[in-house]
Amino acid sequence: MRHRLHYFLFPSRSHPPFKRCLRGLFALGVLFAAPHAQAGWIIASADAPVTIVRTTNVYQLNAGQALRDDDLIESAPHSMVQLQDDAGNLLALGAQTRMLLQAGSRVSLLDGWLKVAHTCATEPCTTPAIDTERGSVEPGANAAAVVAALPGTNGSKSTIAVFSESGTQTLAVSARRSTITPGSFAYVTASAPPQIAQRPSSAFLTDMPVAFRDALQRLPVTPSAHDSGLKPLRAATYDDVSAWLASDLPARKRFPARFRPRLADPAFRRAVDQNLKALPEWRVLLYPPAPRPDARQRALHALRVDSSAWPANSLYLHP
């Protein structure tokens, strides 16, 4: 059996047709697997350590360290961060920007400033998409854009601004899809449809991080040797994730299952309980309904006979 297995895994040179067939099957497998390959994000540069909430713990990462799907990322004050993957996608975060990495190069921008560049050199390419509370932004091929999630005035919901630096971007808000041509500017509020202008506003250009004026360039990165032994700083508190839990982002629906283990912490549980009005989906986790009897129990209950209703001469009564 050992020699037979060796034959199938390592055919000898005396069987060239079999060898060519094996090579063909291998190449075909690579061809079909390629579109599904995921190129992970890495921190290419960071002026200060980047705060990450991974699963339910808080970490601090530096340049050269790898990121994972579902990482909640927050840049430090007065700090710029650049992320990149092997598919040619580049992301730059302004100071105090919060975003979520998702599968398939999709990201969610909670607040702050984000610059994205899609520079695919070889197919297949995964086009990044940015979810915001007002809609999503999809950069075109070899395009670059600046997306800002800005706080609303007087406690109102956030406003989204998009500047198309190069290429064409697609802005999807509800059922409406708008095209943002190179040099154009889009502005979206919670109470009005997208507004498209030929150029960005002076206020937008004034507030935009100075580093965003330059085109994003891929940076040489030396992967960190400390990823395998990465240890959390602490468990995530309610304050660490409260803005995410109460957001209007599509990813919000996944947070109760993700952070449910933190309900074992009395402080986290108490904070969620105090904010149930804004977090109605958490009520069932704090106050689960009483378990309903299963079908077998209901059937037995239906067949149960009340002995007090039996007649005195019933054959079922013992003398």
Residue 130 has pLDDT above 70, yes or no: yes
> Does 101 or 37 have the greater pLDDT score?
101
Cβ neighbours of residue 94 closer than 8 Å, sequence gap 6 or more: 75, 80, 112, 113, 114, 115, 209, 211, 212
Orientation angle between helical segments 238-245 and 266-274, nearest 10 degrees: 30
d(CA 235, CA 206): 38
Identity at 266, one-letter amino acid code: P
Query: pLDDT tens-digit profile of 268-284?
Result: 999 999 999 999 999 99
Residue 22 has pLDDT above 60, yes or no: no
3-class SS of residue 282: helix
Burial class (CB in 10 A: 0-12, 13-18, 19+), 127: middle
3-class SS of residue 20: helix
Mean pLDDT of 253-277: 98
CATH code at 42-213:
2.60.120.1440
Q: Which of the given ranges, 2-16, 28-42, 259-273, has the highest pLDDT on average?
A: 259-273
Cβ neighbours of residue 60 closer than 8 Å, sequence gap 6 or more: 49, 50, 51, 52, 233
Task: Give ranges for CATH 2.60.120.1440 in the chain.
Answer: 42-213
> Does 17 or 196 have the greater pLDDT score?
196
pLDDT over 70 for what percent of the chain? 77
- What's the pLDDT at 105? 84
Cβ neighbours of residue 272 closer than 8 Å, sequence gap 6 or more: 238, 245, 263, 279, 282, 286
